[in-house]
Structure 1
């Protein structure tokens, strides 16, 4: 005895109909009539599923690394029967194909090359898994290398190498900065000395011009000879120096003073000029 029954299939599934254990047809989403118990229905999900495969392998430079690969796949709605009847454990089979692909590529590369080749490895894994699982009604949508984890001791050594490299680069940059500062300081010092020399030369030229104008003015107004004018100016400057020295308040100097002090100073200056003139002809011979 058999009965007409309703079979409701969810939108995310397809129904596998068997008649007395033999595949009959695929049910689409919605409500369908089956002849129970002669016919039975089993649902197959067509949602995208992700599995993470962890593969342990060794690189070309003998570094043990764990590669995590994420496989996103779904069942082809038109080939649900191939998936339902031919596959027992799809996760295990996909894992085997991923392990085989990863272990055939990583040993040919160094650790640094492996990190750089993540995209090419992911494409190779996707191509191999997709071609291998297609006869079973599985469509591979994406394969992603989500993590590559070397051994902890290797990671620590890599971090130390990177830290040493960055410290070296920082030291080089610091030395270059100090070099630039020293060069700039030397250039500024040279420019300051150049300007100071120009200022001193201009000051001396101004003093010389002032002396010259004063001598010519006093010669015209007072009838003094240039030598007498120079004597008087030297005495005046000498007294000005004593005045500034006394006003500074930083030291004490005892100077002979009396009614003839100024005359004595003038006489000493004059004698100095006369001695210089007497010694000058002897040095010519």
Structure 2
């Protein structure tokens, strides 16, 4: 059996050990005396009367988060699940209300969130739920603030963090989105093809214009060269008709020579005789003479009229 002094020392030690307690930072301890509320102690070292006073409970003053998942129906009869995250904390000056007025704050908050969401979402179409999720969060926060302030809780923020429609609805939405993107892609491809055709046509038109300009310049220079050739021949006593015949014959044989230089050419020039150039010139002169006669006759007819 232990000596009485040792027992007294042990009892004193137990009393001293039971007399003090420590409250952590951002925590509140509720003290009761014989079951009646006495005081609220905040962070630090504290004393209490052993056997008379007790710590009835502790409340965290930190911001807490509660995630609530609600399934409801939209205005266009689509079932959707929403995840609402509620951030809240105990008001430091209302620890008494938070501890004694409400046993299960999480259940209370969940009930209000269900009530608000199931009142707001059925007014909206599915697309509007995605667009107006912030409005839903604001409505939840407003309702919770009014209700939970009485119990000593402050609602810091509410967020609609997830919107999950029925699987078949999501598949249909994905198909609609894919079809819209394919339509847009087809429109862009059509515009690109149209621009390509227009630019190709412009390039071809410009090519034809430059080709025609080149031919015109070529013929202009040929005519100028023929004119100079005729002037040179006239200076040595050859008249214009003889000079023209000489030029036509010369060009005829130059053409034959250029054709003969092409080893893989299958071109046959008919008729092919020395008189071809002279006959061609005579036909041209006769055509010009007939044209002049017709022109003079038309002028005389107009004068008579």
Between the aligned partners of 1:59 and 1:254, the Cα distance in structure 2 is: 87
Shift of 1:273: 3.5
Between the aligned partners of 2:252 and 2:263, the Cα distance in structure 1 is: 18
2:275 counterpart of 1:247: no
**Structure 2 matches for 1:111-122, cutoff 5 A?**
111-122=126-137
Between the aligned partners of 2:39 and 2:119, the Cα distance in structure 1 is: 40
2:130 counterpart of 1:78: no
Give SS of 2:49's match.
strand
**Structure 2 matches for 1:167-186, cutoff 5 A?**
167-186=182-201
Between the aligned partners of 1:214 and 1:233, the Cα distance in structure 2 is: 8
2:112 counterpart of 1:104: no
Match of 1:133 in 2: 148
Shift of 1:195: 1.6
**Given the superposition, is the C-alpha separation of residues 219 and 52 from structure 1 closer, same or farther in structure 2, using an over 3 Å criterion?**
same
Q: Deviations over 1:29-70 (max 9, x none)?
A: 111111111100122111211111000000000000000000
2:54 counterpart of 1:40: yes
Shift of 1:276: 5.5
Match of 1:21 in 2: 35
Asked whether the equivalents of residues 252 and 277 of structure 2 are also in contact (C-alpha less than 8 Å), the reply is no
Between the aligned partners of 2:268 and 2:121, the Cα distance in structure 1 is: 96
2:277 counterpart of 1:269: yes
Asked whether the equivalents of residues 249 and 278 of structure 2 are also in contact (C-alpha less than 8 Å), the reply is no
2:77 counterpart of 1:62: yes
TM-score by length of 1: 0.90
**Given the superposition, is the C-alpha separation of residues 46 and 157 from structure 1 closer, same or farther in structure 2, using an over 3 Å criterion?**
same
Match of 1:7 in 2: 21
Asked whether the equivalents of residues 61 and 91 of structure 2 are also in contact (C-alpha less than 8 Å), the reply is yes
TM-score by length of 2: 0.85
Match of 2:7 in 1: none
Out of 165, 168, 189, the residue aligned to residue 153 of structure 1 is 168
Runs of 4+ in 1 over 3 A off after TM superposition: 1-4, 252-256, 271-285
Asked whether the equivalents of residues 17 and 40 of structure 1 are also in contact (C-alpha less than 8 Å), the reply is yes
2:84 counterpart of 1:87: no
Match of 2:252 in 1: 238
> Where does the alignment leave 5 or more consecutive residues of structure 1 unmatched?
none
Asked whether the equivalents of residues 65 and 85 of structure 2 are also in contact (C-alpha less than 8 Å), the reply is yes
How many residues were matched structurally?
A: 277
2:220 counterpart of 1:209: no
Moved more, 242-251 or 136-145: 242-251
Give SS of 2:67's match.
strand
Between the aligned partners of 2:103 and 2:210, the Cα distance in structure 1 is: 93
Asked whether the equivalents of residues 246 and 252 of structure 1 are also in contact (C-alpha less than 8 Å), the reply is no
> Where does the alignment leave 5 or more consecutive residues of structure 2 unmatched?
1-10, 298-305
Asked whether the equivalents of residues 31 and 54 of structure 2 are also in contact (C-alpha less than 8 Å), the reply is yes
